[in-house]
Structure 1
Amino acid sequence: MTITTFINLPVRDLATSAEFFRSIGFTGAQPSPDRTSIMLSLNETTQLILHIDSAFAEYTEVGITDTETSREVIVGLAAESHEQVDELVDRAAAAGGNVLGPGRETGQLYMRGFRDLDGHQWSFVHVAG
């Protein structure tokens, strides 16, 4: 069974956020008919849907987490190598993201994180096998 993951996030500016995620490897930019959301793809089974804040709040029927003071989720994505983890996080930094310190290695796991333009926390992870 194949399960597709849809990551939904509120953003302040759709175009700017879409460009940020395209710079780290997401592709496409399929807007919703009302232009309040846009969908990008990382691969066949991972989709990112960005929503303007008001549309996200309407959809969820609750307030939006203030990413300056709290975290609701950390999105972790697997990379093919230690080097790819660094490359992807460096791309995020070059596009305006906030790198969360140096990479961390724990046994066979290497991880490095960043916050996107709206403060959502991400990490790229490589597990040596």
Structure 2
Amino acid sequence: MPMKIFVNLPVKDLSKSMDFFKALGWSFNLQFTDETAACLVISDDIYAMLLTHEKFKQFTPKEICDTSKATEVLTALSFDSREQVDEIVKKAVAAGGSLYAEPKDYGFMYQHSFQDLDGHSWEVFYMDESAIPAG
């Protein structure tokens, strides 16, 4: 079996968070979803477990990050085009998320970003590997 990644994210309102990510076009694996957790399917190998705060606290003795004051992590996802990057950000903002940085164009890479309903930061980008500077 290929390696997969499961990112665990605390959420304040599981139902609203699920609606937010559905608006981005992503789905959920209902086999691993209940009233305390939802398995967000981002791709065949990338998942996010959305966990209520109570459920999340069962996995760590540390405090949950206050995302209005600190960044816990930047989750970066690659897309196949600049248009797809802009579209996912547009969908995120329309679904109640927010921008936290202006798009950046590095020539070989185009990057944009949004925060979800709980302030988790998502970096989305397109990279044209043929345009990466040599050396």
Q: Give the superposition deviation at 1:15.
A: 0.6
CA RMSD, aligned part only? 1.6
The residue that corresponds to 2:42 in the other structure is: 42
> Counting strand residues as a fraction of each chain, which structure ranks higher?
1
* TM-score for both structures, normalised by structure 2: 0.88
Listed one character per residue, the Cα deviations across residues 55-109 of structure 1 (whole Å, up to 9, x for unaligned) are 1112112110000110110100001100100000000000000012431011301
The residue that corresponds to 2:133 in the other structure is: none
Instruction: List alignment gaps of at least 5 residues for structure 2.
Output: 130-135
- Answer with 1 or 2: which has the greater Rg: 2
After alignment, is 91-100 or 28-37 more displaced? 28-37
The residue that corresponds to 1:15 in the other structure is: 15
The residue that corresponds to 1:24 in the other structure is: 24
Indicate conservation of the 8 Å contact 1:111/1:124, yes or no. yes
Local SS of the residue matching 2:42 = strand
Quick check: 1:106 aligned with 2:114?
Answer: no
Local SS of the residue matching 2:30 = strand
Q: Give the superposition deviation at 1:52.
A: 0.4
Cα 1:92/1:33, change in 2 over 3 Å = closer
The residue that corresponds to 1:92 in the other structure is: 92
Aligned structure 1 segments of 4 or more residues deviating by more than 4 angstroms? 31-34
Instruction: List alignment gaps of at least 5 residues for structure 1.
Output: none
